[in-house]
Amino acid sequence: MFRLRREMQAVRWYAAREEQERLQQWSDRLARDYRSIAEMVPEWGDELELEALERLQEAAAAGEFDRIGRSLRRIGTSCSGCHREYRAVAALLYRTPDFGRVTVEDSETLEEVPYREAMGRLSTLVNRIKIASVDGDRKTALEALSELARRLDDLAAGCSGCHRDAAPRERILGSAHRELLQGLSRSIGAGDRKQTGRRLGELAVTSCARCHGVHRTLSDIRREIAE
C-alpha cells in the first residue's frame, strides 16, 4: 500500500512535468502493484478500477499527459473506498500481535506457558500480596512478591520477540520497575500496610496499566474481530 501511494505520486509528478519515459516506468509499477491487490485479497478484486488503470497506461504510453489526472482520480476513489471499509480491520488483524499464539517461558520449569495463563497468574500474585499484607502475613506476602518478580522477568524476556530495541521494555519493566519492587519488599517487611498498598497501586499503573494501554485494548478488539 505504501508503494501504491508513492507510485501514484510519481505518476502525477512526471505527468505534470511531461516526462514520458519516467511516467511510463512509474505507471507500469503502479499497474503491477495495483493488480496484485486482487491476488493478495481476492475479495477486494471487485473494488478495483481496472478500466481506469488501462486508460492511465494508454495515456502514459501515448504521452497524453492531460488524461493522466482523471484516471488517477478514478483509481484513487477505489483506494478511498477500500480504506473506509477495511483499513482499520486490516491494521488490527495484520499489524497487531496475536497474543493467542504467544507463550511465556517459565524460568523454573522451562515450560512454555500460554500468555493468558501467564497474565492470570500475575493478577493472582498481586492480589495475594494485597490480601496477605492486609492480614499482616508478611511471609506469604514476601513469597508472593518474589514469585511475582520472577514471573515479570519471564514476561520481560519475551518482549524482544517483537521489540527489537530495549527502550520499550526498559520503560515498563526496567530499572524504575525493579526499584519499585524493592521498595514494595521493604514496606511489606516493615509491616507498613499503607505504603504497601500505595506501592502496589503504583505498580498496577506504571507496569500493568501502561503495558495494557499499548497492547491489551487492541488485542481484545482483534480477538473479537477474528472470532
Domain containing residue 215: 99-226
Do residues 30 and 11 lie in contact, with contact meaning Cβ atoms separated by under 8 Å? yes
Are 129 and 26 in the same domain?
A: no
Q: 157 pLDDT exceeds 90? A: no
Average pLDDT over residues 10-30: 96
Cell triple for residue 191?
509491616
CA distance 205 to 218: 18
Predicted confidence band of residue 74 (pLDDT cuts 50, 70, 90): very high
> Is the domain of 103 the same as that of 214?
yes
Are 87 and 132 found together in one domain?
Answer: no
The answer to whether residues 154 and 195 belong to one domain is yes
| Same domain membership, residue 115 and residue 90 | no
Residue 109 grid cell: 520449569
Asked if 206 and 110 sit in the same domain, the reply is yes
Q: What is the pLDDT of residue 161?
A: 77
Would the pLDDT of 160 be above 80?
no
Q: What's the chain's length in residues?
A: 227
Give the integer Cα–Cα distance in Å for 54 and 11.
14
Q: Domain check: are 46 and 74 in the same one?
A: yes
Q: Cell 520503560 maps to which residue?
A: 171
Global pTM?
A: 0.68
Query: What does the DSSP assignment read for 29-80?
Result: HHHHHHHHHHHH-GGGGGG--HHHHHHHHHHHHHT-GGGHHHHHHHHHHHHH
Residues 70 and 36 in one domain: yes
Distance between CA atoms of residues 180 and 183, nearest Å:
5
Q: What DSSP string runs through 126-151?
A: HHHHHHHHHTT-HHHHHHHHHHHHHH
State how far Cα 89 lies from the chain centre. Answer: 13
Average pLDDT estimate for 106-117:
91
pLDDT attached to residue 125: 96
Q: How many domains does the chain have?
A: 2
Q: What is the overall mean pLDDT for the chain?
A: 90
pLDDT at 7: 96
Q: What's the rounded Cα separation, in Å, for the pair 118 and 104?
A: 7
152 and 54 within one domain: no
- Spell out where the chain has E strands: 103-105, 112-114
Find residue 161's DSSP bridge partners: none
Distances in Å between the Cα of 182 and the Cα atoms of 1, 67, 186, 200, 203 are 48, 70, 6, 12, 11
Q: Do 42 and 78 share a domain, yes or no?
A: yes
